[in-house]
């Protein structure tokens, strides 16, 4: 009865278009009130839900994304990568994917990556003869590798919800799947470009000079080294790494490229605060829902019921992934984590799935969802920049979705794809 | 580059009567302070023998401030994470009802945070609860929750009034930030 | 009267740690003695307060949590007198802990807790907090100089380690383990049960010193609003069961780490860890170095209470 109230209240508000966090929080409050669990649990859990030190990395990495978006690093990386790859059919599209992956080593969010790469690439791609809808598809799909390649806001939030999986272990575990996902995207991108003769418009133009473009790009190339290397070497925690990246990005933007102004800094601070607020208010209010559900034993019962069906773990996993695909049509990554993890973790524990592997698997699924219409945040950003409607990308994104799904299936069959690196680095 | 509209946050300027200056300036200051404290922490660790680490609780308190102010700005600009896909299938009158329900839900939720969060603050004040890290009065930190929840309520009321006055529900495009 | 179908006990760690085991024992005894009328369930990880154990006491006062087996360190933000147990080198051995908790100081503390809408029932134990690091054996305060030590968040701990010349760093336990493995921090302090279960030797913690600078007694307690709903007979059952479970808890918390039974110590040494045991003289040097902190906090906690505790320790 109370369980039904918890879920019905959430669903009704959610369908009416209430902000996800508010729908979760109110449903939680209603259940707490009906079960007489003490309503003071609401403000306490909302506060402790966000008053957690590891979450501090969220606003910081959002800020890093904004700074590297505006500083012009992406553009220099494009020139440098083009100097290496040359101007064959599909090569500039492949460069887009590589630059996205590289920026993925700096920023922690897919849409931020799509914005940065889209701003730098869309003009160049059009001049080289790629249709704008195709370009928007490539940018949206490539940006999805960002939340796998560390740093990743998605993995930070997963770690806060699943404390057994530490941020460094998750970051290390996301690296190889992220690179594989990028490679998996390059394959259909090159094939489609070859087949349609995309990217040949400027094939006779000279390549950008290697050394000059390298000198300009070096500052961008060093950023992931600073962030990931600094964390690995134990110089700083993930949060501190983000702040060092902020400092570095401001230095590059002000001193080296001279592309930033103080006004920009103010605007970036406000923008990062708003985006962080949008994420963290869901985290805070979902904590009320999570508390109510777990205190009432709702999630445990549901997990027991699912396991008690006696299904093979791969069957259950397949069903979970299908469920995630459906839910991913309507919901973003943060909300997916916050709503489903309390239910999914008991199932994962019962089957003995490694929480680090499971976190990267879920994140890979969310990454695919980021460029799967209709709710596809990365495509939303890249289509906006390209000035094309999202429907026009449908025929291009499909092979990319399929290709990234292959990586997901590989990760289910070979968990070591995720777990090898953190094990070697001593995080597991 | 700053002249172009930001692709992440379209409609930079929400149509508010009460300007967002307060939220924006305080949020930017809090972000700046967060950066400085964390930087100070790193430098103090390597360059001095003085431990700066207990400032962690300032950082956490500032993060709560950033969250609530960010939520307030996002509520004013209608950029919270919400799904209007189902509501958009309704006829115009139904859409308006859904939009009113949504705004009332925001007001109720943050109203609960003002009321219950206020009780939490009062409780911490009365029983002289100190913060775990620095031993400061805890209620000073917790106060951000009910106080800034009131700001969100104000923004939600503003949105409700605009929806009520307008003939049709404004188009919503939420940010999905990760 | 009608009882809830389930009463929730909050703890920070669960079984197989002694902390979780003694909470479970409490629930088992109460269930038996009440004929199944009172059902209690342990929620470890401070999950009832969103993982923030320092909010446990407040939540219990508000009736959000029914019961808890809580740490004096985690409750000290709400009950300043509980800082007594964090005074450096107040309690030289297990007998000293018992002398305080079972003596007039313990009784006084229970009265104070009782005045804050929480009903304390019995004293359990989490154990002495021993220091470990990756750099060197620590025999004298100078050995700590410049070492970056992860400590639990509390101003008193910060001041204690600063007085010893160390560089105290506060971070969550989740952050601490990778920080230890990469060398971002050099050491940590925790009861030895944590050291073994978390396998800290694998993150380079090769030097342990048994210095017993503070001990963390646990408190079995019930929220006052919840307590008032029980009949006097059932209150008696809860109280007696807590005392029995606490006795069992103290026993298992001390198992294997005493001179008479050093099995856990032997096990740790078997992992390639050197264990340094301080002589009373060596311990005095640490005591002297932290004396200013001790005196400052003695006044802050309440000189009467601390003097009472000191007397009990001296007369143990
Ligand atoms: Na990334
Ligand atoms: Na999607």
Ligand nearest to the CA of residue A241, numbered in listed order:
1
Q: What is the pLDDT of residues C7-46, one digit of tens each?
A: 999 998 888 889 999 999 999 999 999 999 999 999 988 8
Ligand nearest to the CA of residue A107, numbered in listed order:
1
Evaluate whether residue A355 is within a structural domain: yes
List the one residue out of B141, A1, A47, A291 whose CA is nearest residue C64. Answer: A291
Q: Tell how far the Cα of A323 is from the centroid of ligand 2, in angstroms.
A: 13
Evaluate whether residue A39 is within a structural domain: no
Evaluate whether residue B152 is within a structural domain: yes
Angle between helices C104-114 and C303-314 (to 10 degrees): 140
- Is A52's CB within 8 Å of C51's CB? yes
Out of A70, A243, A278, whose CB is closest to B81?
A278
Are C309 and C82 in contact by the 8 Å Cβ rule? The answer is no
Burial profile A398-427: b = 16 or more Cβ within 10 angstroms, e = fewer: ebbbebbbebbeebeeebebbbbbbeebeb
First to last CA, chain A: 41
Are A260 and B43 in contact by the 8 Å Cβ rule? The answer is no
Q: What is the pLDDT of residues B30-63, one digit of tens each?
A: 999 999 998 888 887 777 666 666 678 899 999 9
For position C65, what pLDDT does the model report?
93
Torsion of CA C102, C153, C52, A272, to 10 degrees: 170
Evaluate whether residue B95 is within a structural domain: yes
A229 to chain C nearest CA, in Å? Answer: 12
Measured between alpha carbons, how far is C25 from C16 in angstroms, rounded to an integer? 12
Evaluate whether residue B15 is within a structural domain: no
Mutate to test the interface with A, among B42, B67, B75 (most CBs of A within 10 A): B67
The long-range contacts involving A293-299, CB below 8 angstroms and separated by at least 24 positions, are A293/A6, A293/A28, A293/A31, A293/A342, A294/A342, A294/C47, A295/A35, A295/A37, A295/A41, A295/C8, A295/C43, A295/C48, A296/A2, A296/A3, A296/A6, A296/A31, A296/A35, A296/A37, A298/A3, A298/A6, A299/A342, A299/A343, A299/A346
Paired with C188 in beta bridges are C132, C150
Evaluate whether residue A338 is within a structural domain: yes
Residues belonging to chain B with any Cβ–Cβ distance to chain C shorter than 8 Å: 45, 49, 51, 53-54, 56-57, 120, 123-124, 127-135, 138
**φ/ψ (deg, to 5) at B39:** -60, -45
Burial profile C125-159: b = 16 or more Cβ within 10 angstroms, e = fewer: bbbbbbbbbbbeebbebebbeebbbbbbbbbbbbb
Evaluate whether residue B98 is within a structural domain: yes
The token pair at C18 is 């002694």
Measured between alpha carbons, how far is A47 from A43 in angstroms, rounded to an integer? 6
Are C42 and C220 in contact by the 8 Å Cβ rule? The answer is no
Measured between alpha carbons, how far is A187 from A405 in angstroms, rounded to an integer? 13
Burial profile B134-165: b = 16 or more Cβ within 10 angstroms, e = fewer: bbeebbebbbbbbebbbbbbbbbebbbebbee
Place of tokens 């978006």: A69
The token pair at A141 is 């799909």
Question: How far are the Cα atoms of A30, A155, A367 from residue A60, in angstroms, in the given order?
Answer: 34, 14, 21
Evaluate whether residue A32 is within a structural domain: no
For position B173, what pLDDT does the model report?
65
Environment class of B47 (CB within 10 Å of its CB; exposed 0-12, middle 13-18, buried 19+): exposed
For position B2, what pLDDT does the model report?
35
Ligand nearest to the CA of residue A376, numbered in listed order:
2
Ligand nearest to the CA of residue A367, numbered in listed order:
2
A390 to chain B nearest CA, in Å? Answer: 14
In chain A, residues with a C-beta closer than 8 Å to the C-beta of B139 are: none
Give, as one character, the DSSP assignment of residue C41.
E
Measured between alpha carbons, how far is C171 from C179 in angstroms, rounded to an integer? 9
Angle between helices A238-251 and A57-71 (to 10 degrees): 20
Question: In the predicted model, is pLDDT for residue B6 greater than 60?
Answer: no
Size of interface A-C (CB pairs under 8 A): 73
What chain A residue is nearest to B73 in terms of C-alpha separation? A274
Q: Cis omega before residue A173 (within 30°)?
A: no
Measured between alpha carbons, how far is C178 from C164 in angstroms, rounded to an integer? 25
Tell me how many domains chain A contains: 1
Burial profile C5-40: b = 16 or more Cβ within 10 angstroms, e = fewer: eebbbbbbbbeebbbbbbbbbbbebbbebbeeebeb
Touching subunits of A (3+ CB pairs, under 8 Å) are B, C
Residue C189: alpha-carbon gap to chain centroid = 12
Are A122 and A116 in contact by the 8 Å Cβ rule? The answer is no
Mutate to test the interface with C, among B52, B54, B118 (most CBs of C within 10 A): B54
Measured between alpha carbons, how far is A150 from A224 in angstroms, rounded to an integer? 9
What chain B residue is nearest to C53 in terms of C-alpha separation? B132
Q: What is the pLDDT of residues C128-150, one digit of tens each?
A: 999 999 999 999 999 999 898 99
Segment C271-292 mean pLDDT: 93
Evaluate whether residue B85 is within a structural domain: yes
Evaluate whether residue B170 is within a structural domain: no
In chain B, residues with a C-beta closer than 8 Å to the C-beta of C116 are: 127
Place of tokens 């790193």: B42
- Note down pLDDT in tens along chain A; length 428 residues: 888 999 999 999 999 999 999 999 999 999 999 998 889 999 999 998 898 888 888 899 889 888 888 888 888 888 888 888 877 888 999 999 999 999 999 888 898 899 889 988 898 899 889 999 999 999 999 999 999 999 999 999 998 888 788 888 999 999 999 999 999 999 999 999 999 999 888 777 777 788 998 998 999 889 888 888 888 787 787 888 889 989 999 999 999 989 899 999 999 999 999 989 998 999 999 999 989 988 888 888 888 888 888 778 888 899 888 888 888 777 778 788 888 888 898 899 889 999 999 999 999 999 998 898 877 889 988 998 899 998 899 999 999 999 999 999 999 999 999 999 999 987 77
Out of A232, A235, A291, whose CB is closest to C50?
A291
> Which residues form the domain of A323?
53-424
- Is B129's CB within 8 Å of C168's CB? no
A247 touching B, CB under 8 A? Answer: yes
Evaluate whether residue A44 is within a structural domain: no
The token pair at C291 is 């004396």
Measured between alpha carbons, how far is A74 from A257 in angstroms, rounded to an integer? 12
SS3 A384: helix
Q: What percent of chain C has pLDDT over 90?
A: 72
- Is residue C25 within a helix (H) or strand (E), and if so which, with residue range? helix C18-33
How many CA atoms does the CB half-sphere of C20 hold within 13 Å? 13
Question: In the predicted model, is pLDDT for residue B3 greater than 50?
Answer: no
Are B84 and B164 in contact by the 8 Å Cβ rule? The answer is no
Measured between alpha carbons, how far is B39 from B45 in angstroms, rounded to an integer? 10
The token pair at A129 is 């003869």
pLDDT band at C1 (very low <50, low <70, confident <90, very high): low
The token pair at C178 is 């990778």
- Is B81's CB within 8 Å of A381's CB? no
Other CB atoms within a 10 A radius of the CB of residue C315 amount to: 8
For position B7, what pLDDT does the model report?
55
Question: Which is more confidently placed, C179 or C200?
Answer: C200
What chain C residue is nearest to B122 in terms of C-alpha separation? C58
Burial profile A155-170: b = 16 or more Cβ within 10 angstroms, e = fewer: bbbbbbbbeebbbbbb
Measured between alpha carbons, how far is A360 from B68 in angstroms, rounded to an integer? 29
Q: Tell how far the Cα of A299 is from the centroid of ligand 2, in angstroms.
A: 25
B148 to chain A nearest CA, in Å? Answer: 12
Q: Tell how far the Cα of C102 is from the centroid of ligand 2, in angstroms.
A: 62
For position B1, what pLDDT does the model report?
35
> Which residues form the domain of B142?
21-165
How many CA atoms does the CB half-sphere of C201 hold within 13 Å? 17
Tell me how many domains chain B contains: 1
A204 to chain B nearest CA, in Å? Answer: 30
Segment B92-111 mean pLDDT: 94
Q: Tell how far the Cα of A224 is from the centroid of ligand 1, in angstroms.
A: 9
Are A385 and A115 in contact by the 8 Å Cβ rule? The answer is yes
Evaluate whether residue B49 is within a structural domain: yes
Mutate to test the interface with A, among C39, C44, C50, C78 (most CBs of A within 10 A): C50
- Is A294's CB within 8 Å of C184's CB? no
């Amino acid at each position: 009865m109370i369980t039904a109230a918890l879920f019905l209240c959430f669903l009704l508000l959610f369908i009416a278009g209430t902000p996800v966090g508010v729908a979760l929080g109110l449903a939680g409050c209603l259940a707490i009130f009906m079960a007489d669990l003490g309503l003071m649990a609401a403000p306490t859990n909302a506060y402790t839900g966000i008053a957690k030190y590891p979450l501090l990395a969220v606003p910081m990495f959002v800020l890093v994304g904004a700074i590297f978006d505006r500083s012009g690093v992406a553009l220099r990386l494009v020139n440098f990568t083009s100097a290496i790859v040359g101007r064959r059919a599909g090569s500039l599209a492949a460069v887009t994917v590589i630059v996205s992956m590289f920026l993925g080593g700096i920023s922690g969010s897919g849409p931020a990556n799509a914005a940065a790469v889209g701003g730098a690439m869309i003009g160049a791609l059009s001049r080289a003869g790629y249709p704008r809808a195709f370009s928007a598809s490539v940018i949206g799909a490539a940006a999805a590798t960002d939340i796998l390649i560390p740093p990743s806001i998605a993995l930070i939030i997963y770690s806060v919800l699943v404390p057994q999986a530490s941020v460094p272990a998750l970051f290390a575990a996301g690296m190889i799947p992220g690179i594989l996902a990028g490679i998996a995207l390059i394959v259909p991108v090159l094939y489609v470009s070859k087949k349609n003769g995309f990217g040949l418009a400027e094939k006779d133009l000279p390549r950008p000079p290697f050394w000059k473009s390298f000198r300009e790009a070096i500052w961008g190339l060093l950023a992931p080294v600073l962030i990931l290397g600094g964390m690995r070497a134990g110089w700083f925690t993930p949060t501190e790494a983000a702040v060092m990246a902020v400092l570095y990005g401001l230095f590059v933007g002000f001193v080296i490229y001279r592309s930033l102004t103080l006004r920009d800094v103010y605007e970036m601070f406000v923008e990062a605060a708003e985006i962080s607020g949008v994420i963290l208010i869901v985290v805070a209010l979902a904590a009320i829902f999570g508390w109510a559900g777990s205190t009432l034993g709702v999630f445990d019962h549901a997990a027991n019921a699912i396991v008690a069906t006696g299904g093979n773990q791969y069957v259950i996993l397949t069903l979970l992934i299908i469920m995630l695909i459906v839910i991913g049509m309507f919901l973003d990554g943060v909300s997916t984590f916050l709503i489903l993890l309390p239910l999914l973790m008991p199932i994962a524990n019962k089957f003995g799935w490694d929480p680090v592997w499971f976190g990267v698997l879920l994140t890979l699924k969310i990454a695919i969802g980021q460029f799967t219409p209709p709710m596809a945040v990365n495509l939303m950003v890249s289509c906006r920049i390209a000035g094309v409607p999202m429907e026009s990308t449908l025929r291009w994104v499909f092979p990319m979705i399929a290709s990234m799904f292959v990586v997901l299936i590989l990760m289910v069959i070979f968990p070591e794809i995720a777990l090898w690196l953190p094990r070697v680095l001593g995080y597991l | 580059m700053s002249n172009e509209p930001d692709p992440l946050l379209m409609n930079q300027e929400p149509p508010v009567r009460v300007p967002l200056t307060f939220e924006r300036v305080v949020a930017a200051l809090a972000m700046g302070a967060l950066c400085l404290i964390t930087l100070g922490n790193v430098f103090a660790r390597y360059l001095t023998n003085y431990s700066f680490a207990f400032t962690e609780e300032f950082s956490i308190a500032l993060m709560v401030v950033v969250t609530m102010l960010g939520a307030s700005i996002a509520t004013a600009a209608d950029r919270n994470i919400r799904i209007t896909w189902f509501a958009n299938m309704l006829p115009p009158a139904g859409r308006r009802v859904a939009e009113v329900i949504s705004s009332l839900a925001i007001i109720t939720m943050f109203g609960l945070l003002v009321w219950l969060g206020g009780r939490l603050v009062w409780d911490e004040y009365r029983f002289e609860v100190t913060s775990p890290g620095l031993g400061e009065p805890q209620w000073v930190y917790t106060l951000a929750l009910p106080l800034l929840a009131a700001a969100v309520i104000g923004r939600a009321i503003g949105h409700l009034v605009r929806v009520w006055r307008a003939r049709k529900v404004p188009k919503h495009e939420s940010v999905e930030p990760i | 009267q009608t009882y809830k179908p389930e009463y929730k006990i909050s703890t920070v760690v669960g079984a197989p740690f002694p902390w979780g085991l003694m909470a479970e024992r409490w629930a088992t005894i109460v269930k038996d003695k009440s004929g199944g009328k009172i059902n209690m369930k342990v929620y470890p990880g401070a999950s009832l307060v969103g993982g923030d154990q320092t909010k446990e006491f407040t939540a219990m006062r508000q009736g959000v949590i029914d019961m808890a087996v809580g740490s004096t360190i985690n409750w000290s933000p709400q009950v300043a007198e509980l800082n007594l147990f964090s005074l450096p080198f107040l309690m030289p051995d297990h007998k000293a802990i018992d002398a305080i908790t079972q003596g007039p100081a313990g009784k006084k503390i229970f009265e104070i807790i009782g005045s804050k809408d929480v009903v304390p029932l019995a004293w359990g134990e989490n154990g002495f907090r021993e220091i470990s690091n990756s750099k060197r054996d620590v025999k004298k305060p100078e050995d700590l100089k410049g070492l970056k030590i992860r400590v639990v968040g509390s101003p008193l701990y910060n001041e204690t380690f600063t007085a010893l010349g160390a560089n105290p760093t506060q971070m969550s336990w989740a952050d601490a383990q990778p920080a230890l493995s990469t060398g971002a921090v050099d050491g940590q302090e925790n009861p030895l049960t944590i050291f073994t279960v978390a396998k800290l030797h694998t993150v380079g913690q090769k030097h342990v010193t048994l210095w017993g600078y503070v001990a963390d007694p646990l408190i079995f307690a019930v929220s006052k609003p919840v307590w008032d709903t029980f009949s006097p007979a059932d209150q008696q059952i809860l109280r007696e069961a807590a005392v029995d479970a606490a006795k069992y808890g103290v026993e298992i918390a001390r198992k294997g780490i005493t001179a008479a039974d050093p099995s856990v110590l032997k096990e740790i040494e078997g992992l390639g860890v050197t264990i340094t045991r301080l002589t009373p003289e060596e311990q005095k040097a640490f005591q002297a170095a932290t004396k200013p902190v001790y005196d400052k906090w003695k006044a802050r906690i309440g000189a009467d209470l601390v003097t009472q505790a000191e007397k009990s320790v001296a007369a143990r």
